[in-house]
Amino acid sequence: MPSLTYAEENYLKAIYHLSDDGKHNVSTNDLSKEMKTKPASVSDMLRRLSDKAVINYRKYYGVTITEEGKKSALQIIRKHRLWEVFLVEKLMFSWDEVHEVAEELEHIKSNLLIQRLDDFLGNPKYDPHGDPIPDEYGDVKARPRMPLNELQMNDGGQIVAVKDSSAAFLRYLDKVGAYIGARIKILDKVEFDGSLEILVDNKKTLFMSKDVAANILIIQTS
């Protein structure tokens, strides 16, 4: 894989996510918003990444990620998610504290360190937010999941991931007791605004807005 700088890795990871794992073109404007920088700076970076053959870039036509770029992006994501597991399980960080720290650690270049970290953690398949961890070959085994707000009355499921991993959202979920692994059942779905009344683990009732529920991903069990 090509040698990438810290900044180049951040851009490549953003392109991978914005392209829906490499399925679509990404516009310069969308990337500019994601990276919180001017379009001219984005264009300069895209030319650098194109020179390294990790993206295809044509001015005014947007950018696509190459197969080599996908491999590099997945390895960055792998490192990030493994470090999040380590921070939560071994250093007792809460799940709302780990993203920024993992953003720093994901740029460590040692493949041997990352492989030993993976083995030390017991080769986890998912990070603390429920996102799948790519293996050393870049393979991702994602499980089928759906937004909680799509469930209907009396449907049940298990929370397996979140779409919004911002610290504020995760702290909110901690406050109301909605966590990865929780079993839920829909007791009521309000026609007016789509808000939900939910039974958690057969003992606690929560009232949740449609917007919050849309950012919680579940595996349906009934």
CATH number at residue 43: 1.10.10.10
Whole-number Å distance between alpha carbons of 122 and 158: 23
Whole-number Å distance between alpha carbons of 57 and 147: 33
Among 65, 84, 108, where does a domain finish?
Answer: 65
The residue with tokens 């999941």 is 145
Alpha helices in the chain (DSSP H): 6-18, 28-35, 39-51, 67-89, 98-105, 111-120, 167-176, 210-214
As for how many domains the chain has, the answer is 2
**CB neighbourhood size of 197 (10 A):** 15
Residue 72 falls inside a structural domain: no
Residue 36 falls inside a structural domain: yes
Contacts of 19 (CB under 8 A, 6+ apart): 25, 26, 64, 65
Residue 180 falls inside a structural domain: yes
Among 65, 94, 114, where does a domain finish?
Answer: 65
* pLDDT score, position 2: 78
pLDDT digits (tens, 9 = 90+) for 186-206: 999 999 999 999 999 999 999
- E-only strand ranges, the chain: 55-58, 62-65, 146-147, 156-162, 183-189, 196-200, 204-208, 216-220
Q: What is the dihedral of CA 188, 95, 158, 193, to 10 degrees?
A: 20
Residue 42 falls inside a structural domain: yes
* pLDDT score, position 20: 87
Whole-number Å distance between alpha carbons of 201 and 8: 44
* pLDDT score, position 40: 85
Task: Select from 104, 97, 112 the least CA-distant residue to 80.
Answer: 104
Residue 162 falls inside a structural domain: yes
Residue 96 falls inside a structural domain: no
The residue with tokens 């579940």 is 218
Positions of the chain with pLDDT lower than 70, given as ranges: 222
Range of the domain at 23: 6-65
Residue 190 falls inside a structural domain: yes
Residue 187 falls inside a structural domain: yes
Whole-number Å distance between alpha carbons of 129 and 127: 5
Among 25, 42, 65, where does a domain finish?
Answer: 65
Is the overall model pTM greater than 0.85, yes or no?
Answer: yes
3-state secondary structure of 189: strand
